[in-house]
Amino acid sequence: MTKISMNVNGKAVSRDVPDETLLSDYLREHLRLTGTHVGCDTSQCGACVVHVNGRAVKSCSALAASLEGAEVTTIEGIAQNGELHPMQQAFTDHHGLQCGFCTPGMIMTGVDMVNRYKAEGRDLTTDAIRHELEGNICRCTGYHNIVRAVEDAAAKM
């Protein structure tokens, strides 16, 4: 057991958890932030993507214990003052979700990719979006509307 303190979605949190606790379990089971999902056990589906210190990370593949003091943002934390994040808005505008299970990871990945491309001054083409979504699997949408949503959000972010 180790006491792990983080800043999650702008709030300081602290929990005693076993050392082997994954960040995904820390969020889901200890903080009860169940918007972060787990869809595979080989770090491939991306349903669990959150931001750690501003960068997309698969929360199923990080130990909570290794993130003492980190700033973590989950799907529950990106809407500001009741306003949806442009990426969230774009997903509903473009019907970029069906069952909703992969959606939190898709949105967090989408936000991260747009931030990086903007910071680097690179053009986020639809081909680039598809490539950047390599680590996120959706079984419902066929990705068409997800790509359109990210493209639209990128223009608005």
Strands 55-58 and 49-52: antiparallel
Min dist CB 21 to another protein, Å, is 9
Beta carbon nearer to another protein, 10 or 18? 18
**# residues near another protein by CB under 8 A:** 80
Which of residues 122 and 155 has its CB atom nearest to another protein in the complex?
122
Query: Which 3 state secondary structure label does DSSP give 113?
Result: helix
Angle at which helices 86-93 and 144-156 pack, to 10 degrees?
140
Pairing relation of β-strands 71-73 and 2-8?
parallel
- Smallest distance from another protein to CB 40, Å: 4
Nearest residue to 58 via CA among 41, 70, 71: 41
**Using CB under 8 A as the criterion, what x/- string covers residues 58-97 for binding another protein?**
x-xxxx-xx-x-----xxx--x----x---x--xxx-x-x
Residues in region 93-132 near another protein by CB under 8 A? 93, 95, 97-104, 107, 109, 112-113, 116, 120, 126, 129-132
Which residues inside 10-39 make contact with another protein, applying CB under 8 A?
18-20, 22, 28-29, 32-39
Contacts of 119 by beta carbon, 8 Å cutoff, 6+ apart: none
Would you give the end-to-end CA distance of the chain in angstroms? 41
